[in-house]
Structure 1
Amino acid sequence: MASKEGTAIIVEEKRAGLIGAGIQRSLTPAMHMAEGTAQGFTYRYALIDLDSLGAGPSVLPELVRQAEQDGLCGLNITYPCKQQVIPLLDELSDDAAKLGAVNTVVLSKGRRIGHNTDWWGYAEGFRRQLPQADLGRVVQLGAGGAGAATAFALLKMGARELTIFDVDGDRAAGLAHAMAAHFPSATVEAGCDLGRAMEIATGLVHATPTGMDKLPGLPLPADLLHSDAWVSEVVYFPLETALLAEARKRGCAVADGGGMAVFQAVRAFALLTGREPNAERMLAHFASLTNTGLVRAERLA
């Protein structure tokens, strides 16, 4: 509380955090805090990096308990904690329960409520970048946490056939089985012949870490890309991955990973703060961050 000429002025402050491993380059904190400032309240958002702590997901119970004690309104959760946090929660949203993954935890009135904004973030970014995309036969690379979100989003948007590939065949089969149960009118299966699947694909979704700064390269042979298939990426460091560059060369319509990065934050902001964010403003801020390089989050005292 501050005062001016004897009059008390109440300054609203909200506090949140992001728990994950290797998250020092995340732009989520900066987007959240900038939107809070634009809306006229103080929003402090901390990075809680397991790598910096020298710890693994086993410390999650302590970290969540500490967040409650410190009065945080909630937490964003990322790799490798999206599944491990679930047993610590009191309630899950329907989407989080179906996906079996949580990326946003609202802490309110002594309760911990888990949500998943990744799938909605991917869908919203996809719609904006590829509004005319043919979802008839989609190939997806990756069946991890990001892959679960993109698969759910694609099927929510009306994909008729979805073929999932992963270096772990059992993981691909498990995700395909789970999604088929949620979307019985669609054909969802684990793939075994990527070349054949790509020949007839109307689109490709890439949901693995390949192409990130620390893991450069292509997630599939370049010759499998063809101009009749759009290409959608989830990686956003860098925004223009090797996959997108190659796809553009071959005449593919493309969607970068920035859409998912921004819109998962848009929905999470609403859940954590109880305020509706300005999505266009958050998009513009993300663009400024990706143009000017790394912005680190404020650390809570």
Structure 2
Amino acid sequence: MPVGGADGTVRIGLLGRGIGSSLTPIMHEAEGRRLGLAYRYDLIDFDRLGLDDFDLGAVLETARDLGYRGLNVTYPFKQAIIPLLDSLAPEAAAIGAVNTVVLGNGTRVGQNTDCWGFAQSVRKGLGAVPIDHVVQIGAGGAGAAVAHALVQLGARRIDIIDADVGKAEALARKVEDTRGTLAQGLAPSHLDEVIERAVGVVNATPVGMEKYPGTPIDPGLLRRRQWVADIIYFPRETELLRRAQALGCRVLPGGGMAIYQAVRAFHLFSGVEPDAAEMGRTFAAHA
């Protein structure tokens, strides 16, 4: 049975910066109505509210006091929120990043639905593409989930590129500890030498969002034989994907990941299994 506040409402929020274009609230609320739930989803945009990063703890406490059932977490808080939680689900602990916090019974439990969401998006959106050697751009909270998803999908080698080389190397070590995947963390200066051999490229940075326009790499480095995925879905088509498609690459927008992570989060928040197809149709109608 769904667990709501004192008035029976399942109240959820999204914590992040520059999230005004997010379709997550629309997907959640539409599915809640379809299932007959009193379901409310709020945007808690630190930019719009003029909040500093150090206000994260206070916002989390306020959400709990107001009876929120849970929170989704996006850039730049997926790792910063971890010390503020009471416990982590096993997958979130293994990944080292949280995008979903379940609030209830006085506890704050961190979950990660991004990993399954990205893997499911690849399965549904790209099908049986070669995945043995992938270059991933970005080693932050979303990047951690994507790297683990790539391992689950069968990647044998992952080159993780990040300006913070220490962060990229740490993520590579963590990925190698899972299923023996060969992974290495590299500085952007090494991109030219590794991307040539890769079969796939994933952008797991915020570069390409409406707030951070541009491309995370030089699109001229891409090859027609490669597939290119982006975790960003606003804008619906990033500049990276537009340029990659023009080259003849198969592309995967971030919409699929957004849908599937929301599907799993909805169940964690409400206790009710949502219909992924319905949530996908809601997303498509507003994209």
Out of 141, 146, 159, the position equivalent to 2:137 is 141
Match of 2:203 in 1: 206
**8 Å CA contact 2:98, 2:141 repeated in 1:** no
Match of 1:265 in 2: 262
User: Does residue 84 of structure 1 match 2:53?
Assistant: no
Q: How do 1:44-63 and structure 2 match up within 5 A?
A: 44-63=40-59
Out of 104, 110, 134, the position equivalent to 2:106 is 110
Distance 2:65 2:250 in 1: 48
Q: How do 1:96-107 and structure 2 match up within 5 A?
A: 96-107=92-103
Aligned length: 279
AA matched with 2:181? A
Deviation, 1:78, is 1.7
AA matched with 2:279? M
75 and 214 in structure 1: CA distance in 2 versus 1, 3 angstrom threshold: closer
Q: Give the TM-score normalised by the residue count of structure 1.
A: 0.88
Distance 2:272 2:149 in 1: 24
Deviations 1:148-190 (A, max 9, x none): 111111011111000011122222112112222233x210012
Match of 2:60 in 1: 64
Distance 2:219 2:84 in 1: 43
Match of 2:284 in 1: 287
AA matched with 2:202? V
Deviation, 1:12, is 4.5
Cα RMSD of the aligned pairs, angstroms, is 1.6
**8 Å CA contact 2:267, 2:273 repeated in 1:** yes
Deviation, 1:57, is 2.9
Q: How do 1:136-285 and structure 2 match up within 5 A?
A: 136-183=132-179, 185-191=180-186, 193-285=190-282
AA matched with 1:164? I
Distance 1:85 1:209 in 2: 18
Identity among equivalent positions (%) equals 48
Deviation, 1:218, is 2.6
Distance 1:225 1:71 in 2: 48
218 and 145 in structure 1: CA distance in 2 versus 1, 3 angstrom threshold: same
Distance 1:111 1:272 in 2: 13
Deviations 1:37-93 (A, max 9, x none): 011111011112222332223222322222222221111112222222222222211
Match of 2:115 in 1: 119
Match of 1:13 in 2: 9
AA matched with 2:46? L
Q: Give the TM-score normalised by the residue count of structure 2.
A: 0.92
Gap runs ≥5 in structure 2: 1-6
